Amino acid sequence: MPTADHRPTVPIVSDEIGYVYVRVADAVEAEIRAGRLPYGARLPNERDMGTQYGVAPGTARRAVQELRDRGLVVTLPNKGTFVTVRQGGESGELPGADS
């Protein structure tokens, strides 16, 4: 399966008022919608995602929860978090995923 580990570090810096985890989730959603994170791609773990976006692991964890709430990813215990949206925006279920 494709992974997102090859992406460059993208710090989330903004003067906007709002939650940082939402900006991280918005950035990951943009990657998904643009097809750079295709269906089935595994997201980086919380520590790596935090480093990639310049945020704490807890902020990355909350961003992943936001992505789950938006129906864009599913987390499989002991396996990782995977994109569940196909190109064009349709959502699909990964085999063995309990959302």
Task: Please tell me the pTM assigned to this model.
Answer: 0.78
Asked if pLDDT for residue 46 goes beyond 60, the answer is: yes
Task: Report pLDDT digits (tens) over 79-94.
Answer: 999 999 986 656 565 5
Asked if pLDDT for residue 15 goes beyond 80, the answer is: no
User: For residue 99, what pLDDT is reported?
Assistant: 47
Work out whether the CA dihedral 71, 12, 87, 5 comes out positive or negative: negative
Q: Which domains does the chain have, with CATH numbers?
A: 20-83 (1.10.10.10)
Task: Report pLDDT digits (tens) over 18-37.
Answer: 899 999 999 999 999 999 99
